[in-house]
Structure 1
Amino acid sequence: MCRWLAYSGNAVQLETVLFRSRHSLIDQSLHSKLGATTTNGDGFGLGWYQHPHDIPYRYRSIQPAWNDRNLRELARAVSAPMFVAHVRSATHTPVQETNCHPFRHRRWIFAHNGLIQSFPLVRRELLVAIEPGRFSALEGSTDSEVMFYLAMTFGLEHEPVPALERMAGFVEATARRHGIDDPLNMTVCACDGEQMVAVRYSSEGNSRSLFHSTSFKHLHELYPDDPRIAAAGEDAYLIVSEPLVDLPDVWAEVPEATAIIVRGPQVEYRQFVPVTPQ
């Protein structure tokens, strides 16, 4: 499948997380330990905010993340208080830039790991449920982008978690009408520059891996001389497909069927329950 991470905190250089950690996201693109596939080389993408109310910047490429010199230069040059990075392992759809995450619509960016089972069988029905005013913004052919625009249709900009619950419920109901069991597996992240919303959920209760940092204050105590941790600040928060292993004992697994909402120093955890839209 794929690997992704999301960061919120003080502005830090992107390379701090993408390259410098021992099991960084770039390392995971080659040597994933917990993913469905070891190598995630079918493209990558970054989305980041310089200021909370700005339209996010984005860089995507079909190059493997470990082999893109421009990515290393960009990650060294850019500092941001919120960003999402994703390395892709393609499933149903081709390797092309428009299929690389994160997807963007206005202030929102969206990244996904997982799949809709038998997506080609339900693709048309899911597509026609997208609000007509948003349909023209679709660029690629992935199930992930369809999930994003369904969530937008169901109110992501106003109530992110309920919108994602309605999206998940709609996908499940549609797939089951086609006789598809356990249709949805996802870890997703949606950001608008002010908040970061992540969900771990699957129809069968066996989701892809997802972890969150427990305490950057504790990290400051463990690594008082590490400038990377000092730069992030005590309220920094990371959500990752796999732990960055050079920072031991500070990761907690996100439970099944859980949503996380991060707004600055405030972090909320709640149960995630799909709802079939009326």
Structure 2
Amino acid sequence: MCRHLAYLGPEEPLGRLLTEPPHSLYRQSWAPRRQRYGTVNADGFGVGWYAPNDPVPARYRRAGPIWADLSFTDLARVVRSGAVLAAVRDATLAGADAEAAAAPFTSGRWLFSHNGAIAGWPDSAAPLAPSLPPVDLLSLEARTDSAFVWALVLHRLRSGDDPADALGDTVRQLAEAAPASRLNLLLTDGETIAATAWGDSLWYRTAPGPGTVVASEPYDDDPLWQEAPDRTVLTASRAGVLLAPLEDPASVPSKEPCT
């Protein structure tokens, strides 16, 4: 599993979002409070952020634990942004992909993270591979379930799906192929956030005035935090949050053949 967070709002130093709060993403790398699977998120970390007047985000990623990178602490003190996506990683399986496996993944203006695991990876996902163009499979940034999920989402975005539909349809597709999967996805283009709650916790906070945070778990004890129900797709902007249910393929009765 992993922990991740996205923020939209007034410009803030990265540290004010990621390292300074009492239960920050930094602390969640070794002491998450609401993580249901795994205990330590030390297999890499990353942060992506947007600069003014530039739609393409910057990224900083490393293969090791966030607490071992003193350069990041210094960077987070001075870099400011009004749109951020960050994650700390607990690998599904051991691998040699290093920082390439750490979220956020990116293409153009998009930043993406997956908190969870595809059950039975990689065998369970093999039947879905033909749904992707060969060039997308050959261009996977890492040989991980999260990189494959990102390829599925990105293919839908490039085909014209809006962010919520791209995430929701990808989750349903994966849940049908591998029913025990955990599929909390997080996506931003610097203007909006889309996310899914599917198998693990997802929280959001809309502060008075502009500013929205969507995260695996609250980074402080502010009573404004609210939990999204499981099987939900969330869309957010600086103005607020909308929730919609996601239908579980396992709950849809199969059609009996005519006789």
When normalised by structure 2's length, the TM-score is 0.88
Question: Shift of the alpha carbon at 1:273?
Answer: 3.0
Cα offset for 1:144? Answer: 1.1
Per-residue deviation, 1:30: 1.1
Question: Displacement, 1:239?
Answer: 1.2
Q: Which residue of 1 aligns with 2:252?
A: none
The answer on whether the counterparts of 2:171 and 2:183 sit within 8 Å (CA) in structure 1 is no
Question: Secondary structure, in 3 states, of the residue corresponding to 2:30?
Answer: helix
Q: 1:72 to 1:154 in 2, by over 3 A?
A: same
Give the deviation of 1:236 after TM superposition. 0.6
Partner of 1:99: 101
**Rounded Cα–Cα distance in structure 2 between residues aligned with 1:43 and 1:236:** 27
One of 189, 192, 205 as aligned partner of 2:189? 192
Q: Residues 115-264 of structure 1: matches in 2 within 5 Å? A: 115-155=117-157, 158-175=161-178, 182-201=179-198, 207-213=199-205, 215-217=206-208, 234-245=209-220, 247-264=221-238
C-alpha displacement of 1:133: 4.5
Which secondary structure does the structure 2 equivalent of 1:125 belong to? Answer: helix
Whether 1:85 aligns to 2:86 is: yes
Query: Paired residue for 1:273, among 229, 247, 253?
Result: 247
Q: Structure 1 unaligned runs (5+)?
A: 176-181, 202-206, 218-233
> Could you say if the C-alpha distance between residues 196 and 134 of structure 1 is closer, same or farther in structure 2, counting changes exceeding 3 Å?
same
Secondary structure in structure 2 of the residue aligned to 1:30:
coil
Uncovered stretches (5+) of structure 2, i.e. residues with no partner: 250-259
Change (3 A) 1:58 1:134: same
Number of positions where the alignment pairs a residue of Structure 1 with one of Structure 2:
247
SS, match of residue 15 in structure 1: helix
2:13 maps to 13
CA contact (8 A) 1:258 1:269 kept: yes
Letter in 1 for 2:193: M
State the TM-score, normalized to the length of structure 1. 0.82
Aligned AA for 1:257? Answer: R
- Of 17-26 and 259-268, deviating more is 259-268
Q: Against the structure 1 CA distance between its residues 6 and 52, is the aligned structure 2 distance closer, same or farther, given a 3 Å change threshold?
A: farther
Match of 1:51 in 2: 52
What SS does the corresponding residue of 1:82 show, helix, strand or coil?
strand
Maintained 8 Å contact 2:132/2:152: yes
Alpha-carbon offset, residue 240 of structure 1? 1.6
Assess, with a 3 A threshold, how the Cα gap between structure 1 residues 249 and 264 changes in structure 2: closer, same or farther: closer
In the aligned structure 2, how far is the partner of 1:54 from the partner of 1:119? 34
State the distance in 2 between where 1:75 and 1:121 align: 39
- Distance in structure 2 (CA, Å) of the matches to 1:190 and 1:38: 24
Q: Which residue of 1 aligns with 2:2?
A: 2
Alignment deviations for residues 99-156 of structure 1 (CA, whole Å, 9 cap, x no partner): 1111111111111111110012124333332234533431101111111111122236
**After the TM superposition, which of the residue ranges 28-37 and 124-133 deviates more from structure 2?**
124-133
Task: Give the root-mean-square deviation of aligned CA atoms.
Answer: 2.0
Contact 1:52-1:192 at 8 Å conserved across structures: no
Percent identity over paired residues: 31
Distance, in Å, in 2 between the alignment partners of 1:185 and 1:52 is 36
- Equivalent position amino acid for 1:26 in 2: Y
